[in-house]
Structure 1
Amino acid sequence: MDPSKANIQLSARRYANWHKAERLLEEWGPRDDSDFPIYAALARKRTVFYTPAVLSTPRQVRDDLTGLTVQVSACIDEHLINTGELQTRPRNLRKYVELIIIDESDRLNATALEMVRDHYDRDNVAVILIGMPGIEKRFSRYPQLYSRVGFAHEYRPLSKDELRFVLERRWPKYGHPLDPDDFTDAQALAAIARITRGNFRLVDRLFTQMERIMQINELNTITDDVVEAARSTLVIGIT
């Protein structure tokens, strides 16, 4: 997977608070008071994050987006009622959703893209399409859609300084702050930079495995050996 695309996907999920809400939306059923923090998270963003399945039909895309929009809107409505913020309930609860983020938009065929464009026009909802580099060239073949594209932005892997910024906030969890002047930390930092090449999602996966390895071996310091052991458990290609 392209490193920059992985970074975008993870950022988009976090922005929409989908990492908090996805399970509740997938296991839709009787609600519990413990769900209220999730309602609040969805109300702050008013965003739907959607990934179409491979070979999704336009009807499936339409039904999926409609279903997710209704579910998220219901959660937002519950939050507004619970907090007393609701003055007048909108006639159409779907109006609560202000942004739809579609990941893997390369999977959408021409008809599905036209359906998304029509949804954008009818409901006045913002749409972000995430795809592989160059996807804007494909969209240029559909004038009705392309005329509504505000801008195309290509995200790049984390720079050296950005990667260090991220690691400085992860390191203290494992015993002590990151010290680039410390030989052990410097070795581990170099190993992480070499393995991940600025791929934010891979950094997250690598740290998950590092934590598991450190717990199993009762370690409290991140070393390059720990990093390499974590790397060996991941399918990430040759680095």
Structure 2
Amino acid sequence: MPPFQITHEHRRFAEFADAVRAHRYIGLCWGPPGVGKTLSARHYAGTDEWEQWENIFNDDLGPVPQGVLDSRTAVFTPTVAATTRQIDQGLPRACQQISFAVDFAEHGTVDPFVHTESRSSGRTELLIIDEADRLKTTGLEQVRDYFDHHHMGVILVGMPGIEKRLARYPQLYSRIGFAHEYRQLTPEELTAVLTRRLPAAKDEGDGGVAHATAIATIVRITAGNFRLVDRLLTQIERVQTVNNLESLTPEVVEAARQALLIGH
């Protein structure tokens, strides 16, 4: 998997998350599918590193990932048909796991009768709920109740229109202190990201014209959608492998595009 790309939109999201976490408000983030909302949330929280650490099956877990300790952020994704019981159990479990990791890093062991903040999620400073559109009226009320009983910020991440839907629930809506629209990458920034990820070969005979044209073609096809960029690059790698090609050309990009259903 390629390394996470720090973009302007991710930096904006991180600033938004920092503010929600510091002030302990509810924050609302929305954006079209495929722009990178989930990737940004998981990177901010250090979720991938935490999952690898938490799944080590031996007595020596090793040090808690620094990203987890820095963010103190839990990520919870409700299922499509999440029940009241699943949400009631899922919210505290996600937060308790992060609180446990923080206490484990400080004490080397966690006794729930001594380190009571772990048990009550007290070391978790931010809860990010991804796919918040899946929450029905009861689920949203559960989130509000959990927020009221814990000293932490909460971010609801969803699709455009979620901000209008939540306006119909005044008890929850009145607690929203920050809002953030996650936008698609501009052509200029996507060009810069692709140039870093797909550097031109130094010995290209045309001075890199074909490579630059291919990058511009990818930008035009994907329109700043990260998910579509990832799918297209996967197809480009396949076309290059099948045809024993190393250089990136507009013809390779076009062949890869024809193998895709262009949608988000």
What TM-score, normalized to structure 1? 0.80
Local SS of the residue matching 2:192: helix
Partner of 1:140: 167
Contact 1:39-1:76 within 8 A present in 2 as well: no
Alignment of 1:165 with 2:212, yes or no, is no
Partner of 2:246: 220
State the 1:56 CA deviation: 0.6
Cα shift readout 1:11-60 (whole Å, capped 9, x = no counterpart): 112212223334555xx573465x54663331122111222111111221
Q: Which amino acid aligns with 1:135?
A: I
Alignment of 1:42 with 2:68, yes or no, is yes
Alignment of 1:78 with 2:107, yes or no, is no
Partner of 1:6: 35
How has the CA–CA distance of structure 1 residues 123 and 161 changed in structure 2, closer, same or farther, with 3 Å as cutoff? Answer: same
State the 1:71 CA deviation: 2.2
Contact 1:210-1:230 within 8 A present in 2 as well: yes
Superposed structure 1 runs of 4+ greater than 4 Å apart: 2-5, 174-177
The unaligned stretches of length 5 or more in structure 2 are 1-30, 109-113
Contact 2:128-2:157 within 8 A present in 1 as well: yes
Matches of 2:32 and 2:146 in 1, distance apart? 30
Local SS of the residue matching 1:61: helix
Matches of 1:221 and 1:32 in 2, distance apart? 48
Local SS of the residue matching 1:194: helix
The unaligned stretches of length 5 or more in structure 1 are 83-88
Matches of 1:215 and 1:209 in 2, distance apart? 10
How has the CA–CA distance of structure 1 residues 31 and 123 changed in structure 2, closer, same or farther, with 3 Å as cutoff? Answer: farther
Between the two structures, name the one with larger relative contact order (CA 8 Å, sep ≥ 6): 2
Local SS of the residue matching 2:69: helix
- The residue correspondences of 1:57-68 to structure 2 (distance < 5 A) are 57-68=83-94
Matches of 1:128 and 1:176 in 2, distance apart? 45
Q: Which has the higher helix share?
A: 1
Local SS of the residue matching 1:152: strand
Local SS of the residue matching 2:128: strand
Cα shift readout 1:179-229 (whole Å, capped 9, x = no counterpart): xx8321222112211221101232233334433443454432222233234
Q: Which has the higher strand share?
A: 2
- The residue correspondences of 1:113-192 to structure 2 (distance < 5 A) are 113-172=140-199, 175=201, 182-192=208-218
State the 1:134 CA deviation: 1.8
Contact 2:187-2:223 within 8 A present in 1 as well: no
Alignment of 1:231 with 2:257, yes or no, is yes
Local SS of the residue matching 1:153: strand
Partner of 1:86: none
Q: How many pairs does the alignment contain?
A: 225
**Residue number among 206, 209, 212 corresponding to 2:232 in the alignment:** 206
Matches of 1:186 and 1:12 in 2, distance apart? 31
Partner of 2:80: 54
How has the CA–CA distance of structure 1 residues 96 and 57 changed in structure 2, closer, same or farther, with 3 Å as cutoff? Answer: same
Between 1:134-143 and 1:215-224, the stretch displaced more is 215-224
What TM-score, normalized to structure 2? 0.73
